[in-house]
Amino acid sequence: MGVNWRFLPLERIWVAKKQVKKNIEKIVSAVDTTDINNGLKHSGQSNGQTGLPEGGSLASETAHPLQMSGSAAAKMARFFAALQEAAEGKKISIFHYGDSQIEGDRMTGYIRQRIQQQFGGIGPGFIPAYNVYNTQSFKQKVSPNFKRFTAFWPPKMSSRRYGALLSAATFDVAATDAQAGLPTEAWIEIAPSAAAFTRARTFSHVKCYYNSCYKSCSVKVYENDKLIHEDSLLADGGAHVLPLSFDHTPSKLRFVFSSTKSPIFTGFSLEGDVGVQINNVAMRGSSGHDLSSSEASLFAQMHREANTKLIILQFGGNSVHSFRDSSSVRYYTSSLKNRIQYIQKLVPDAAIILIGPSDMSRLNAGVFETYPLLPYTVDRMQKMCAENGVAFWNLYGAMGGFNSMPAWVSQGLAGKDYVHFSPRGASIASQYFYEAFGAAYTDWQAKKGGQE
d(CA 317, CA 101): 8
Structural domain that includes position 264: 19-451
For residue 56, the model assigns a pLDDT of 78
**Average pLDDT of span 342-367:** 96
Please, what is the average pLDDT of the chain? 93
**Alpha carbon distances (Å) from 61 to 290, 330, 396, 440:** 35, 32, 19, 8
pLDDT at 226: 97
Side chain identity at residue 385, one-letter code: C
Percent of the chain's residues with pLDDT above 90: 84
pLDDT tops 80 at residue 2: no
pLDDT computed for residue 49 by the predictor: 76
Q: Pick the more confident residue, 366 or 415.
A: 415
Asked, for residue 43, whether it belongs to a domain, the answer is: yes
pLDDT score, position 10: 52
Q: What's the pTM?
A: 0.93
- Given a contact cutoff of 8 angstroms between Cβ atoms, the answer to whether 389 and 69 are in contact is yes
160 occurs within a structural domain: yes
Strands 367-370 vs 167-171: parallel, antiparallel or unpaired: unpaired
| The pLDDT of residue 34 | 77
Averaged over 408-428, what is the pLDDT? Answer: 95
Q: Is the pLDDT of residue 182 over 90?
A: yes
Whether residue 46 is predicted with pLDDT greater than 50 in this model: the reply is yes
**Nearest one of 450, 388, 427 to 32, comparing CA atoms:** 427
Mean pLDDT, rounded, for 44-73: 86
Indicate whether 5 belongs to any domain: no
- Domain assignment of residue 6, yes or no: no
1 in any annotated domain = no
Is position 58 within any domain? yes
420 found inside a domain: yes
Q: Give the pLDDT of residue 29.
A: 82
For residue 355, which of 404, 405, 396 has the smallest C-alpha distance?
396
Show the CA angle centred on residue 73, arms to residues 70 and 77, nearest 5°: 140
Q: Does 200 fall in a domain?
A: yes
Here the CATH number for the domain that contains residue 76 is 3.40.50.1110
pLDDT tens digit string along 104-143?
999 999 999 999 999 999 999 999 999 999 999 999 999 9
Q: How many CA atoms lie within 13 A of 97 on its CB side?
A: 26
pLDDT band at 162 (very low <50, low <70, confident <90, very high): very high
Per-residue model confidence (pLDDT) at position 43: 67
Q: How many domains does the chain have?
A: 1
Task: Please determine, for residue 450, whether its predicted confidence score (pLDDT) is greater than 50.
Answer: no
- Degrees to nearest 5, angle at CA 290 with 337 and 121: 90
pLDDT per residue as tens digits for the range 134-145: 999 999 999 999
Give pLDDT tens digits for 267-324: 999 999 999 999 999 999 999 999 999 999 999 999 999 999 999 999 999 999 999 9
